[in-house]
A = this chain, B = another copy of it.
């Protein structure tokens, strides 16, 4: 019985790794694979289509938007520094080794909030630069920043630790479901496709996180469900997972842009060779 398919994956049944961790890891991998694949597929599709340049706003409006984005990003950065390095702030310390507990997480909470506004400012600057990000991405970034801010206001009510983790997961899933429902009517909309991708990446990495929290692979009893700090930290951690998912998507989009530009360059030089 020990030589089932689980053994094929390199895990010995006699190892202390609990099966519920393996289950969460496999579920997470399922979503991660699709998220990662889509984070390459959709930028490539968009770049190949050579986004139509006619609905570009005038240059004057663009300069104003870039300035606004810069100011927003600067303020958010100032906010992060202020929250962290205020006299009573945590000074980038998350876990106090002395008291074996989390430091006061409120400044971290607001640091996370400012982080997403920083992101929103950066997206606003980049989307009005000559790089021509798809229209609507700046508003999506703002909406994400607000949802993250709002979600944290109401998120500290969870009863049990497992339920709290699943509740966070459910918000990610429902965001993806809503997005897929919109895509029934609005097909081939890049912003929706990217949002769905980010929702899948979030689900994937959160399943892994749930595995580590509830049944660690090294066999411990899981995190302490009585410590309220764990609830607050995991809520914040959920936001960081989403920030990570967005970072992975941005990296993949940049990589696929390089690939497409390189391809075009090759084609261009080949054409030149043919013509000469």
Query: Which of B81, B107, B147 is the one whose CB lies under 8 Å from A174?
Result: B147
Measured in the bound complex, the distance between the Cα atoms of B173 and A236 in whole Å is 18
Q: For window 38-75 of chain A, which residues contact chain B by CB distance below 8 Å?
A: 41, 64, 68, 72, 75
Chain B nearest CB from A211 CB (Å) reads 13
Give chain A's interface residue range (CB within 8 Å of chain B).
35 or more
Identify the closest chain B residue to A169 (Cβ).
B153
Chain B nearest CB from A184 CB (Å) reads 4
A87 touching B147 by the CB < 8 A rule? no
Q: Which of A93-101, A137-145, A227-235, A239-247 contacts B (4 or more CB under 8 A)?
A: A137-145
Question: Which chain B residues lie closer than 8 Å to A27 at the CB level?
Answer: 79, 110
Query: Which of B37, B88, B146, B181 is the one whose CB lies under 8 Å from A173?
Result: B146
Main secondary structure, interface of A, reads helix
A19 close to B (CB within 8 Å): yes
A181 touching B139 by the CB < 8 A rule? yes
Identify the 4 closest CB pairs spanning chains A and B, nearest first.
A150-B173, A146-B177, A143-B180, A153-B170
Give me the interface of A with B, judged by CB distance under 8 Å.
Answer: 1-2, 4-6, 13, 19-20, 22-23, 26-27, 30, 33-34, 37, 41, 64, 68, 72, 75-76, 79, 81-83, 85-88, 106-107, 110, 117, 135-136, 139-140, 142-143, 146-147, 149-150, 153-154, 156, 163, 166-167, 169-170, 173-174, 176-178, 180-181, 183-187, 191
